[in-house]
A and B are shown apart, each in its own frame.
Chain A
């Protein structure tokens, strides 16, 4: 289980200190799919990066499987079973899709095994396995490869930071299936998704609403979801966040 205790995170912006996360505490239980939602700028992505170790909190503790990992590096946390899918996938000159999948799985994956991960994100493996993970791939392709690498990690906790960002409608539906499959195939592993897409919220076991760096609501999907419909925290896939931003929020 992952536990955040009294996390505070601040950034310096033009000499001024700005609070992003304020004294935040929450739990991600084992075997659950938890979605963190909330309006833009509420600190969702920052929270994901704090858990992965990319950012370090100014105060508070991060507890993973009973150990305090607050001071652990990104590498240590990855080795301890935390996987992270970037909102903006990183591009590499020279590194191929197969290289990333092998590094992610930590073993010398056979072509067949690697192809299975690509097939799960709807990519024809033969066309992609030798491709360089560079700018010749579209945003949607890069995103699917990012998700395939995270699947290959088979981590105890997988964090997806806005997995729907930059993805086309077909991929989006495919993505929902990927999450469903992940949840059903590995019962004791946890999935944490940062998203404000209604369809992703709908497959959650638990929802956490983050606003202005604080948890404004947390509970089962059934209890929280009705309060979110039609707000910036639960956007139907056919509508853009911009249409709702500035309107009513939770």
Chain B
């Protein structure tokens, strides 16, 4: 942490809620260099030799431990693709915190594409938190194109929380998941775009094992002239339960395209999708105004609550 300047520390706070060196295993990547790493007895972090990225191996049965692998970028014009693979042993139960913060004060685009693969062992449980944040007043764009692949073995469960609230100009996020028998995937995505931003979020979730389930829920707000596309496809290839929901607020000149997709390839696949897009209801604003908030304050409260 001593190698980080104040901007980098601020980015770390935004994306990983880190004020100090985290407990447990961590790797902090700053402007394409490792700014600190620690493995623990149960969690080993090593650098890949063929491409840029990490291998994170979590020993079977590891409980109540965490891994932080935040990325911060402050050099304008930096473009990188990073491959991180997570191997989670059977019966492990861990929290993984990723996230990327870009501060771009220059005129060249800064781009971080993180390709994360999760191999989740039998009956293992992970909670994965990924926050994206951008700041800086340069003309250069802040671009993040994450790819997340999840391979779940029997009885495993994965909870993913993906958050992008501010400052990322362009994002194209892809999440692929393959679920084995009785595996469970829960995704909660929160997204807010503003200015001229573009965000595309694509899901392809394949429920291959009997008794598997997936619940993919996105809440998003598009303000100003921003554009979002939410494309969530669930495939039921066995007796399974799938639910996907896109709930969005549009403000100003914001635009949103929601494309929920369901494909049932088994008679016992039960799949549901819900999608709703609309502006903030007038009576919600009036109700908060009767509590003494201005119209603008009311809108902020409603949006903050919606994305909480």
Residues of chain A within 8 A (CB-CB) of B305 are: 92-96, 99
Say yes or no: is A137 at the interface (Cβ < 8 Å to chain B).
Answer: no
Within 8 A of A (CB), among B252-308: 281, 283-284, 286-295, 301-302, 304-308
How distant is the Cα of A83 from the Cα of B292 in the complex, in angstroms?
9
Say yes or no: is A103 at the interface (Cβ < 8 Å to chain B).
Answer: yes
Within 8 A of B (CB), among A74-90: 74-75, 78-79, 83-84, 86, 90
Task: Give the total of A residues in contact with B, Cβ under 8 Å.
Answer: 23
Within 8 A of B (CB), among A221-241: none
Are B301 and A99 in contact, CB atoms less than 8 angstroms apart? yes
Task: Select which of A54, A94, A96, A99 is within 8 A of B286 by beta carbon.
Answer: A54
Are A153 and B291 in contact, CB atoms less than 8 angstroms apart? yes
Instruction: Write the nearest CB–CB distance from B113 to chain A, whole angstroms.
Output: 31
Instruction: Write the nearest CB–CB distance from B217 to chain A, whole angstroms.
Output: 11
Residue of B nearest to A79 (CB): B292
Given contacts A93-B305, A95-B301, contact A104 B291 (CB under 8 A): yes
Residue of B nearest to A54 (CB): B286
Instruction: Write the nearest CB–CB distance from A228 to chain B, whole angstroms.
Output: 29
Given contacts A54-B286, A90-B283, A93-B247, contact A106 B292 (CB under 8 A): yes
Within 8 A of A (CB), among B85-109: none
Task: Select which of B281, B294, B306, B307 is within 8 A of A75 by beta carbon.
Answer: B294
Are A93 and B306 in contact, CB atoms less than 8 angstroms apart? yes
How distant is the Cα of A229 from the Cα of B18 in the complex, in angstroms?
68
How distant is the Cα of A208 from the Cα of B80 in the complex, in angstroms?
73
Are A78 and B292 in contact, CB atoms less than 8 angstroms apart? yes
Are A75 and B308 in contact, CB atoms less than 8 angstroms apart? no
B290, B292, B302 interface centre (most CB from chain A within 10 Å): B290
Residue of A nearest to B249 (CB): A93
Are B291 and A149 in contact, CB atoms less than 8 angstroms apart? yes
Say yes or no: is A52 at the interface (Cβ < 8 Å to chain B).
Answer: yes
Instruction: Write the nearest CB–CB distance from B291 to chain A, whole angstroms.
Output: 5
Are A94 and B306 in contact, CB atoms less than 8 angstroms apart? yes
Within 8 A of B (CB), among A88-140: 90, 92-96, 99-100, 103-104, 106
How distant is the Cα of A78 from the Cα of B288 in the complex, in angstroms?
10
Residues of chain A within 8 A (CB-CB) of B289 are: 73-75, 78
Could you give 18 example pairs across A and B, Cβ below 8 Å? A52-B290, A74-B289, A74-B290, A75-B289, A75-B293, A75-B295, A78-B289, A86-B283, A90-B286, A94-B305, A94-B306, A94-B307, A94-B308, A95-B302, A95-B305, A99-B301, A103-B293, A106-B292
The 8 closest A-B pairs by CB, nearest first: A94-B305, A95-B305, A74-B289, A90-B287, A78-B292, A94-B306, A84-B290, A75-B289
Other A-B pairs beyond A75-B292, A93-B305, 20, CB < 8 Å: A52-B290, A74-B290, A75-B293, A79-B292, A86-B290, A90-B283, A94-B307, A95-B306, A99-B301, A99-B305, A100-B291, A103-B288, A103-B292, A103-B301, A104-B291, A106-B291, A106-B292, A149-B291, A153-B291, A153-B292
